[in-house]
Amino acid sequence: MRIAQVPPLYEAVPPRFYGGTERVVSHLTDALVDLGHEVTLFASAEARTRAELVKVRDQAIRLDPAPLKSDLAAHMSMLCDVRRRAREFDVIHFHTDMIHFPFFEDMPERTLTTLHGRLDLKDLPGVYWRWNQFPLVSISDSQRRPLAFANWNGTVHHGMKADLYAPNFEPGGYLAFLGRISPEKRPDRAIAIAKRLGVPLKIAAKVDPADTRYYQEQIEPLLLGQKLVEYIGEISDDQKSEFLGGASALLFPIDWPEPFGLVMIEAMACGAPVIAYGCGSVPEIVEEGLTGFIVQDEDEAAAAVSRLDRLDRRAIRRRFEERFSATAMARRYLDLYAGLGAARAAPGVALAANA
């Protein structure tokens, strides 16, 4: 198949540091190439990919040192480039939320849109009613609930390259927190669990500008004057095997309807179990008693830490390979791409895209 992949432009593809959507698009794109398909990636110039790269911006927005820039203008320019080449592709796979809908409303049957974010926002229902002709993919069944009426074609859980991280089957003596310092990710819960148990905690996370005040007022005071919790800062992919593989478990104490939670499968790839609060996608990703434990409060989280020796880290890695490899993800998307083609060819279906 001839497939276009269209990610957002905020991070490099793959990201140098934090960035879930662009990382998933990178893994998916390369896996589709490995499976023999003709893939074109529209992305910023520093992208590393086995697909044909169309450079639509000189740098990812986050990496661009220019003090004044417009993310809206950058994405509109990219979509214009995709639109000009639309007839070259069997499927145009968007990862850009909804911004492309007005550009492609005469050919929605040629597109597939994966939604990567939370969907319980006030203004979203109107958009998805208005452009209900666009086929959508959720990254968890839980993610769909606020927009149950939307034109869902399937759910595809994220995947990653199986060889990206090296598993460690003999962990060190610390707990890990990885991701963002933000109210919904609840690093304060992770700190409380570690202090309660007297177990070291390492935090590898970025602080977005929007969360700077939260970090300064709520988290930084918890770190001062003690040695049990170590704040490392943001880390790259190259550092995750050591960081996650060396941990006895990943703490994922979220307090929001997490659409997926890529860090959970990153931990599994390293052989590390996950102790996660049961919000959003967590019950779909963590298999209780196999790849980790699902908890509801600090008491249950502390008890789960005491049961980590019951889990087989080799089995955790095997489940990652079976459920969350990039190849498994790509095959699920290929089934959806094929369904789009079958729908276009069916009697009574408009074939404007093939005109």
Whether residue 178 sits in one domain with residue 308: yes
* Mean pLDDT score of the chain: 94
Whether residue 298 sits in one domain with residue 342: no
Query: Rounded CA gap, 176 and 285, in Å?
Result: 18
Lowest-confidence pick of 168-172, 238-242, 280-284: 168-172
Query: Rounded CA gap, 49 and 26, in Å?
Result: 7
Look at residue 167 and tell me if it is in a domain.
Answer: no
Q: What are phi and psi of 49, to 5 degrees?
A: -155, 155
Look at residue 132 and tell me if it is in a domain.
Answer: yes
Whether residue 188 sits in one domain with residue 154: no
For the chain, what is the domain count? 2
Look at residue 166 and tell me if it is in a domain.
Answer: no
Whether residue 120 sits in one domain with residue 13: yes
User: Quick check: 167 pLDDT over 50?
Assistant: yes
Average pLDDT over residues 205-218: 94
Under 8 Å between Cβ of 203 and 231: yes
User: Quick check: 270 pLDDT over 50?
Assistant: yes
Query: Rounded CA gap, 355 and 344, in Å?
Result: 12
Look at residue 192 and tell me if it is in a domain.
Answer: yes
Q: E strands, 52-149, where?
A: 52-57, 91-94, 111-115, 136-138
Query: Rounded CA gap, 187 and 177, in Å?
Result: 7
Q: Provide the pLDDT for residue 346.
A: 61
Q: Provide the pLDDT for residue 355.
A: 30
Which tokens in the block code for residue 212?
């700077």
Best CA proximity match to 35, nearest among 259, 346, 328: 328
User: Quick check: 152 pLDDT over 80?
Assistant: yes
Q: Provide the pLDDT for residue 351.
A: 37
Q: Provide the pLDDT for residue 20.
A: 85
Whether residue 115 sits in one domain with residue 8: yes
Look at residue 168 and tell me if it is in a domain.
Answer: no
* 292-310 pLDDT tens trace: 999 999 999 999 999 999 9
Whether residue 188 sits in one domain with residue 136: no
Q: Provide the pLDDT for residue 251.
A: 98
Whether residue 331 sits in one domain with residue 311: no
Average pLDDT over residues 280-298: 97
Q: Say what the pTM is.
A: 0.91
At position 221, the amino acid (one-letter code) is P
Query: Rounded CA gap, 164 and 266, in Å?
Result: 9
Look at residue 184 and tell me if it is in a domain.
Answer: yes
Q: What is the CATH number of the domain that holds 193?
A: 3.40.50.2000
Look at residue 81 and tell me if it is in a domain.
Answer: yes
Whether residue 236 sits in one domain with residue 104: no
Look at residue 178 and tell me if it is in a domain.
Answer: yes
Which tokens in the block code for residue 183?
């109210």
- Which run of H or of E encompasses 26? helix 20-34
Whether residue 142 sits in one domain with residue 7: yes
Whether residue 336 sits in one domain with residue 281: no
| Domain that residue 331 falls in | 2-161+325-354
Q: Provide the pLDDT for residue 269.
A: 97
Whether residue 119 sits in one domain with residue 199: no
Whether residue 111 sits in one domain with residue 13: yes
Give whichever of 161-170, 276-285, 342-351 has the largest mean pLDDT.
276-285
